[in-house]
Structure 1
């Protein structure tokens, strides 16, 4: 099964971001029928670590590593880290262009959580991406289906965005099902 670890913003934060995204050019293009692959608000998440394909027989080991990471994180804090979605940008080129919104607030706490998760997975000899952890929430994957000037305009529009603050309260293990309509299934969760 294909797995990743995430923190989910609450519905209020996602609704606020969705209202902003609805005013972007990428959303207008989607409404006109262009496949800009807008992120489904119900699937909005901040990826903490991507594991990729993991044999189901190793799931208990993954859950143990994540449970320990969450427990260690909780032990070093007196309150949940408060985050906000705000700002934004794009990465990739051509077909792989992605539009995203940044994370503000107690981002260093999120980075600490990411390090704990990744080091726990490595200790358990479990798969884990080694990309630098850059907290963000993907808004759309327009690829080369809209004009690069429209992507640039949307990126600039997101620079002024600042959503409501919210506490990060749980770490979630998610199963990803690929395809034309990706689906994410909650496998397990741990309080932060």
Structure 2
């Protein structure tokens, strides 16, 4: 199964961001973007790709340890950015150091559980809002997000999410996400 570790924003944060994204979709050029659905908004910590079912017990155990070693922290959705002409994203503010540490711990947990991971890169907190169909100019969308400041919430959980890729071939179909495990943060060092 195709898995990733993530922090999931609460419904109130998703609703706030949703209002900002609704305004973005009225800008010129929006038809050149594939917008992600609200139910798919998350901060990926560690993308694992295809994971053999036999690794799941060890992966669950190690992700649980990573969560227990990380204290809950405040986070908010903040402004936006882009990866070239490929993706538009919302950023984060608040406990960025704690979020980065949780991402590193989730990555290490997956590696130690035997998951083949991509080359390790410096973590950049982002929540993907849209992807370009054809190298669209993302600058107007980033500028429109410049003033976005979400309400802080407490990150209290690490989630393991299964990504079910579209199979119907219907244009615009989104991946479906399913939580297959979650662990509370800060419950000791065990």
Q: Is the pair's TM-score, using the shorter chain for normalization, greater than 0.5?
A: yes
Partner of 1:158: 145
**Unaligned 5+ runs, structure 2:** 167-172, 186-190
CA distance in 2, matches of 1:12, 1:63: 28
Q: As a proportion of its length, which structure holds more helix?
A: 1
Give per-residue Cα distances to partners, 1:63-92, cap 9 Å, x unaligned. 11101111121xxx3xx2100101111113
Look up the match of 1:90: 82
For residue 29 of structure 1, report the CA deviation from its aligned partner.
Answer: 5.7
In structure 1, stretches of 5+ residues that fail to align are none
**Equivalent in the alignment of 1:67:** 64
Supply the distance in 2 between the matched residues of 1:28 and 1:17 (Cα, whole angstroms).
19
Paired residue for 1:50, among 34, 47, 51? 47
Does the 8 Å contact 1:102/1:136 carry over to 2? yes
SS of residue matched to 1:88: strand
Question: How many residues get paired?
Answer: 178
Partner of 2:156: 169
RMSD: 1.8
Output the CA distance in 1 between the equivalents of 2:28 and 2:39: 20
- Segments of 4+ moved more than 4 angstroms: 25-30
TM-score, length-scaled by structure 2: 0.86
- 1:128-159 CA-partner distances (Å, limit 9, x unpaired): 332321111111113327x41xx211111112
TM (normalized to structure 1)?
0.85
- Cα distance in structure 2, aligned partners of 1:103 and 1:173: 20
Instruction: Look up the SS of the partner of 1:87 in the other structure.
Output: strand
- Aligned residue number for residue 188 of structure 2: none
Contact in 2 for aligned 1:27/1:38 (Cα 8 Å): no
